Structure 1
Amino acid sequence: MSVLRPGETCWRVARAGRAAFLIDTEAYFTAVYEAIRKAKRSVLLLGWGFDPRARLFPDGKDGPDDPDEVGRILVELARARPDLDIRLLIWKSALPVAISQQFFPHRARHWFLGTGVKFVLDDKVPFGACHHQKVLVVDDELAFCGGGDIGVDRWDTPGHLDVDPRRIMPDQECHDPRHEVMAMVDGEAAAALGDLARERWRRATGHALPRPDGPTGSDPWPSHIPAHLRDVTVAIGRTEPAWKGRPLVDEIRSLTIESILSAKATIYLENQYFTAPAVAEAIAQRLAEPDGPEVVLISTGRSPSWFDQLTMDRARSNLMWRLRAADVFGRFRAWYPTTRGGSKIIVHSKVSVFDDTLARVGSANLNNRSGGFDTEAELSFEVASEADRMALTAFRDRLIGHFIGHTGDAVAKARAEHGGLIAAIEALNREGRLSPILPMAHSTLSEMVATYHLGDPANVSDSWRPSRRRDRLYASARERPRLTVG
């Protein structure tokens, strides 16, 4: 039975003639450049953040007029093609976040003023929430969705080098190594993401955009990227808070719990955060089964911001204690990746692969707020054929391999030789580039923050009742798996 049910665990199910997984931002930015240059009628971007100074092809060189800056590329494209409708809808970030981004994307409004690029900041979310969807749609015929925004501190390669002058920022400093994943689809799935983007635009501006009529007759798919899946079922999942008369949409959270409870052999989770008790309790339930699945979590060793270190890292530590206690059969591992020189890699991706039948790539973190407080978008790929199942396995193995300096084929061979994913990783991780995520000692303040998940509400009503949050979150975590299984 499929875990993808429109209205419950996803919004829509559509077909894509082609789908591809883009590992790390070099691949994403290169694909974006080719796709938008092929656009015939529209480019729609949804983002948490956006910086027009972000370079799509950084070379590590100085220069105030870099021709590869995305803002410059979009302006020139709009000037050369006045008939091309280019719209950017970006979250109007709160002041503390804006300060950390040198007041971008707010300053981007002046960048695009008087150009053909329509740039809008979207603040239509509850107090304390954010728009976190990362979607780019070209002509309703090609779409990207995943964890990556277009910013000055995002570009990196799968090599995640200790020193890479191409990770250069406008101040000529280099940012830390960073891991991202995006998915790319065409066909009906791309058109569905176009509908999602247009609905967001309508809510933000009050202006309804018409759906394009018919195909353009061209193909915006980047010519250098092969399709990893063909003629595949794609589900679009969302998170939207209950606000101003609109009901709660928690399709992504529902699918996460359902996928964990349905997995047979392997659960692979790659995520920036891991603080949701409901997710941890579902995993704990599976770990208690004698023949349950292996569970591998890859996350950041330490969050780059002090606020996330206090809130997300501390709350994750409590869940590590819970899962270590539940792991009576030794089937759970949590690791963080480092470079060859030992520097921590920022894991910003939001990816999960269940067995060899379901892969998910989106913007949602494994925290509370991504399940019902922020807005999120995700693509899920459910497959049945042997070729497609091999493609999903290869995707997962390639992700694991690139963290430990091995190919995906080497990971597949190690799985066969050692009898499982965890054993394969431990056999190949000779350099120690994956280190265990261990529970942390708490101060009085951090214990309070972690216990009550301060900064990480599960929904709008929860955001105003932190004193009741602990009981409510854990009650939901205990009850949800039983309801889903039954």
Structure 2
Amino acid sequence: MTDTETSAADFFRPGQNSWCVDQADRFAVVIDAANYFRMAREAMMKAEKRIMLVGWDFDARILLRGAPLEPGEPETVGDFILWLVDRKPELEVYLLRWDMGAIKSLFRGRTIFTLVRWMRHPRIHTKLDGKHPTGASHHQKIVVIDDMFAFCGGIDMTSDRWDDRDHADGNPLRVRPNGTPHPPWHDATSALSGPITQRFGDLVRHRWGLAGGRKIAAVQGGVDCWPDTLEPDFRDVTVAIARTHPEMDDVVPVHEIEQLYIDMIAAARRHIYAESQYFASRRIAEAIAKRLQEPDGPEIVLVNPLTANGWLEPIAMDTARARLFEALRKLDPHKRFRIYHPFTAGGEAIYVHAKVMIVDEHMIRVGSSNMNNRSLRLDTECDVAVDLRADGEDPRSARIGAIRNSLIAEHLGADQDVVADHIQASGSLIVTIEALRGPGRSLHPYETPDLGTVEKWLADNEILDPEGPGEMFEGLTHRGLFRRAHAWRVARRDRHARR
């Protein structure tokens, strides 16, 4: 059996490319934080027993805009949570966030006063997660409500995240808590209900314990917390949860997310559409290279931000992307690989923070993991995935295609039906994007930048994107961006020599 003929029935293999597989009676993909913040408010309003919030960052000052507020209902998430537990006597809230990310938040406006009020409340529990290797971070973004509903994806409840799908220039709502505007931002998460949410409850309780928190029992007697305004994309669907846990003295490493990426790339027949904050993983690049050299392999479209955020990340991530892209370009005889960046109508780059992969019209994953070494080996991550290939006539597959088409249409500023018609007629995502892209709101193709000596050295030695905790202090002579790619090419050359 070839890689592309992998049986759908056994695609998710707990312990290898997933942690567990269970049923969701409802599943939805939520695009951009304007929708997510509104849905989160609606879901939390329904909570009766417990809200568990897990994130890389959390800003108590952000606004959860949405439906008209009830009398006395605060707009900021910090005050909203206090208000909610005061009006619901059985409700408890648990907040777990990355410890290093919490330090800077203490100096955000009135955040420290909100945290003091939380810490004084007997039913609000906070914990800083420092259970990770040196240089790593807690990167999961999960919300679990009453063990009956969950969000899992890439959106943190923090500043600089809010935007809607229009990504309009000068949107007066796209501002930080201090009132200053922030750049347009594209993101995604998922919403789930049913038995799978109890697995998320277990995951968060385990993570809470690793961070030093007391043992938390499962919720008994939870209620349906699905947001009234959220239409499910799927009903009664099997969902897999995949994780990354780094290696530590008392924690077994987990690389399910890495294997899931590789398996999904291998399973594609016609198209792979992906969105990621970074493209810097040699393992993912190797899996892509293998498919690009097949005469009838899939075309692969990756949507990235124009450049990485911050001041150190562009040096590491953008340089690694350039090196991998050039390597893949030389291994792409059929010209089936493209990287694009989205821009607003006014020409401003839209920052892509979403972590989405859609294979053909049958598989979809959404999560917190990026296509870089940190997400695959060093940080804690959590993704969810759905595979509908078992029934080739499954009508829900059309919905996966529609989600992909809506994302492409969003980035092109085009009508979703127009995008769908072009894909149907051409059979190609690349041909469709090239036909519809243009000036203004659109997708622009990636252009490899000139790389300076320092940038090349940093990328080759993975100074800022190590493959795991063992590489944080490993001698540089044993590291390198193309170490595995070189070994793969040598092995391939030897195989050909023996024929």
Query: Normalised by the size of structure 1, how large is the TM-score?
Result: 0.93
Q: Is 2:127–2:213's contact at 8 Å kept on the other side of the alignment?
A: no
- In structure 2, distance between residues paired with 1:272 and 1:265: 23
Measured against aligned partners, the alpha-carbon deviations of 1:353-394 in whole angstroms (never above 9, x if no partner) come to 111111000000100010111000010011135311101111
Mapping 1:369-408, distance limit 5 Å:
369-383=374-388, 384=391, 385-408=393-416
Q: CA deviation at 1:108?
A: 5.9
Q: CA deviation at 1:428?
A: 1.3
Measured against aligned partners, the alpha-carbon deviations of 1:118-145 in whole angstroms (never above 9, x if no partner) come to 1211111111100000000011111000
Change (3 A) 1:66 1:35: closer
Deviates more, 1:356-365 or 1:300-309: 300-309
Q: CA deviation at 1:117?
A: 2.0
Tell me if 1:205 matches 2:212. yes
Measured against aligned partners, the alpha-carbon deviations of 1:127-184 in whole angstroms (never above 9, x if no partner) come to 1100000000011111000000001211100001111110121221011100010111
Measured against aligned partners, the alpha-carbon deviations of 1:64-108 in whole angstroms (never above 9, x if no partner) come to x9931000100101111131011110011259x837984998786
Mapping 1:377-456, distance limit 5 Å:
377-383=382-388, 384=391, 385-431=393-439, 433-456=442-465
Tell me if 1:151 matches 2:158. yes
Quick one: which amino acid aligns to residue 318 of structure 2? Answer: D
Q: CA deviation at 1:242?
A: 0.9
Q: Is 2:376–2:467's contact at 8 Å kept on the other side of the alignment?
A: yes
Aligned residue number for residue 312 of structure 1: 317
Tell me if 1:49 matches 2:66. no
Q: CA deviation at 1:475?
A: 1.9
The alignment partner of 2:462 has SS state of coil
- In structure 1, distance between residues paired with 2:14 and 2:468: 21
Tell me if 1:219 matches 2:219. no
- In structure 1, distance between residues paired with 2:475 and 2:321: 17
Q: Is 2:74–2:83's contact at 8 Å kept on the other side of the alignment?
A: no
Q: Is 1:277–1:477's contact at 8 Å kept on the other side of the alignment?
A: no
Mapping 1:90-239, distance limit 5 Å:
90-93=97-100, 98=104, 102=108, 109-115=115-121, 116-213=123-220, 215-216=221-222, 218-239=223-244
Q: Is 2:282–2:481's contact at 8 Å kept on the other side of the alignment?
A: no
Change (3 A) 1:191 1:278: same
Q: 5+ unaligned residues in a row in structure 2: which ranges?
A: 1-6, 493-499
Q: Is 2:459–2:481's contact at 8 Å kept on the other side of the alignment?
A: no
The alignment partner of 1:227 has SS state of coil
The alignment partner of 1:337 has SS state of strand
Deviates more, 1:239-248 or 1:103-112: 103-112
Q: Is 1:339–1:345's contact at 8 Å kept on the other side of the alignment?
A: yes
Aligned residue number for residue 62 of structure 1: none
- In structure 2, distance between residues paired with 1:103 and 1:461: 38
Which of 283, 299, 303 lines up with 2:288 in the alignment? 283
- In structure 2, distance between residues paired with 1:87 and 1:243: 25
Deviates more, 1:357-366 or 1:437-446: 437-446
- In structure 1, distance between residues paired with 2:481 and 2:311: 27
Q: 5+ unaligned residues in a row in structure 1: which ranges?
A: 60-64
Aligned residue number for residue 497 of structure 2: none
- In structure 1, distance between residues paired with 2:332 and 2:438: 24
Measured against aligned partners, the alpha-carbon deviations of 1:185-227 in whole angstroms (never above 9, x if no partner) come to 11111111111000011111241111123x43x3210111111
- In structure 2, distance between residues paired with 1:22 and 1:58: 14
- In structure 1, distance between residues paired with 2:403 and 2:88: 37
Aligned residue number for residue 496 of structure 2: none
Mapping 1:311-390, distance limit 5 Å:
311-383=316-388, 384=391, 385-390=393-398
Q: Is 1:12–1:235's contact at 8 Å kept on the other side of the alignment?
A: yes
- In structure 2, distance between residues paired with 1:149 and 1:222: 18
The alignment partner of 1:306 has SS state of coil
Quick one: which amino acid aligns to residue 405 of structure 2? Answer: D
Q: CA deviation at 1:296?
A: 0.1
- In structure 2, distance between residues paired with 1:52 and 1:227: 28
- In structure 2, distance between residues paired with 1:462 and 1:322: 23
Quick one: which amino acid aligns to residue 314 of structure 1? Answer: T
Q: CA deviation at 1:440?
A: 1.6
Q: Is 1:14–1:234's contact at 8 Å kept on the other side of the alignment?
A: yes
Q: Is 2:286–2:485's contact at 8 Å kept on the other side of the alignment?
A: no
- In structure 2, distance between residues paired with 1:389 and 1:101: 47
Aligned residue number for residue 4 of structure 2: none
Quick one: which amino acid aligns to residue 120 of structure 2? Answer: G
- In structure 2, distance between residues paired with 1:114 and 1:245: 32
Q: Is 2:461–2:481's contact at 8 Å kept on the other side of the alignment?
A: no
- In structure 2, distance between residues paired with 1:39 and 1:85: 9
- In structure 1, distance between residues paired with 2:447 and 2:480: 25
